Structure 1
Amino acid sequence: MAKSTSKDVAKLAGVSQSTVSMILNGKKDVSFSRETVDRVLNAAKQLNYKSSLRQGGEKQNNGKAIAVFCANLDNPYYTMLIQTISNLSENYGYSMLVCDTHRKYSVEAGYIKFMNNMIAGAIYTYLPQYTDLFQKISNRVPVVVLGDKDETVTSDSVELNSTKCGKLIAQYLLSLGHKKIAYISTPISDQMLARKRRVEGVLQEYEQHGFPNGVIVRASTGNYNDRESPINEEYCAGYNLTQEILKEGDHGISAFVGLNDMVALGIMDALADGKYRIPQDYSVVGCDNNIFSRLASVSLTTVEHFVNQKGEDAFNMLINKIQHKYTSKPEILPQKIVRLEYEPKLIVRGTTGSNKRK
Structure 2
Amino acid sequence: MQNRRKWLASGFAILVAGTLVAGCGATKPANATTNQTAAQPQASLPKEPTYSGPVVATYQGGQLTKAELDHEYNLQVVLVGAEQKETKKAFLTNYVVLYKYLYGQALKQPSLAPVTATQAGQLADQALQQLAQNPYKSKAEVDAKMKALGLAKDDLILWAEREQFLQEYLQTQVQVPDSQLQQYYDQHKTDYMQVTVDQVLVATEAKAKQIEAELKGGANFAQVADKNSTDPSVKQNHGQFKDAMVGQFVAEFAQACKTLPIGQISDPVHTQYGYHILKVESRTQLPFAQVKDQIKQQLLPQVQSTQLNALYAKAVTDAKVKTTVKDADL
TM-score (norm 2): 0.26
The one of the two structures with greater contact order (alpha-carbon pairs below 8 A, sep at least 6) is 2
Q: Which has the higher helix share?
A: 2
